[in-house]
Amino acid sequence: METMGLRSSMSIVVMIMDREIITYTNGLEESGSREYL
């Protein structure tokens, strides 16, 4: 059960990080700063 809880919390963190990265890269594209990636 411990591994299941850890795995679910890890997946939630990964989902949040994915969303943050996507919004960050989208903001860079909109401002035309894609060269910095």
List, for residues 24-35, the tens digit of each pLDDT value.
Answer: 888 877 776 555
pLDDT above 70 as % of the chain:
81
Buried b (16+ CB within 10 A) or exposed e, 2-32: eeeeeeeeeeeeeeeeeeeeeeeeeeeeeee
In this model, does residue 37 exceed pLDDT 70?
Answer: no
pTM of the model as a whole: 0.50
Cα four-point dihedral sign 17, 20, 22, 24 = negative
In this model, does residue 14 exceed pLDDT 90?
Answer: yes
- Return mean pLDDT, the chain: 81
Report the distance separating Cα 31 and Cα 20, nearest Å.
17
In this model, does residue 16 exceed pLDDT 90?
Answer: yes
Amino acid code (one letter) for 7: R
